[in-house]
């Protein structure tokens, strides 16, 4: 059961995440794999560094984890395709949903999260493309139980957008402690999109770095 620090009523934290993952009021329902939203909130290419920011109250719209839901994403505009895995959670109090986004000629990864553990964490977000091409970003998460997001820089799409996948891994600050949660943009064989650690696994990718790492196979 997730903890709700600060005396929030039971269920209030999850309500915020569901609002973050909810459908914009009066929006048209679209297939889960592809969606478009209203005005573009983050025009142009992202900078060289990772993006991690809290979502303001009253404007925290994030994709629904329900397969039939409408993943209307904060900061996305028309002609933006979003392929999202399901919302997953850990017993420690982390909830996340990870997406691959394509807009025009650009593709990038984004993970939406809520950290209710009460302690700061690190997230490693990896975008994997054709030819073993990867882009990796590390983001620092506050333990304030507020919804937020982390995303990689945008880059020119190589090949078909459907060839891209994304994985977000959450662990203690500076890579301390075991891997707490893994959230993917696709569903695994169990159909839940979540590969949880057995408590002994550590994320080699979570090293406290704040710079994207780009590799080509």
Over residues 131-172, the pLDDT tens digits come to 999 999 999 999 889 999 999 999 999 999 999 999 999 999
Residue 146 CB partners (closer than 8 Å, separation 6+): 16, 54, 55, 114
Give 110-178 as a DSSP string: EEEEEE-SSS-EEEEEEEE-GGG-EEEEEEEE-SS--EEEEEPPPEE--S-GGG-EEEEEEEEGGG-S-
Over residues 192-206, the pLDDT tens digits come to 444 444 333 333 333
Q: Which helix (H) or strand (E) holds 40?
A: none
The strand pair at 165-172 and 179-184 is best described as antiparallel
Task: Name the 3-class secondary structure at 92.
Answer: coil
pTM, whole model, 2 decimals? 0.59
């Amino acid at each position: 059961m997730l903890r709700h620090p600060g005396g929030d009523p039971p269920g209030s934290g999850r309500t915020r995440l569901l609002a973050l993952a909810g459908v914009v009021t009066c929006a048209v329902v679209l297939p889960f794999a592809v969606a478009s939203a209203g005005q573009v909130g983050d025009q142009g290419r992202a900078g060289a560094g990772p993006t991690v920011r809290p979502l303001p109250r009253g404007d925290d719209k994030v994709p629904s984890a329900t397969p039939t839901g409408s993943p209307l994403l904060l900061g996305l505009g028309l002609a933006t395709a979003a392929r999202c895995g399901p919302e997953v959670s850990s017993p420690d109090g982390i909830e996340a949903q990870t997406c691959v986004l394509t807009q025009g000629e650009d593709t990038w990864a984004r993970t939406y999260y809520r950290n209710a553990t009460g302690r700061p964490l690190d997230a490693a977000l990896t975008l994997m493309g054709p030819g073993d091409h990867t882009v990796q970003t590390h983001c620092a998460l506050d333990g304030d139980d507020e919804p937020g997001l982390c995303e990689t820089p945008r880059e020119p799409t190589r090949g078909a957008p459907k060839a891209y996948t994304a994985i977000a891994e959450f662990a203690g600050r500076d890579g301390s402690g075991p891997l707490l949660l893994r959230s993917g943009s696709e569903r695994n064989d169990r159909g839940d999109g979540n590969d949880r650690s057995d408590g002994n696994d550590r994320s080699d990718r979570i090293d406290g770095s704040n710079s994207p790492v780009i590799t080509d196979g």
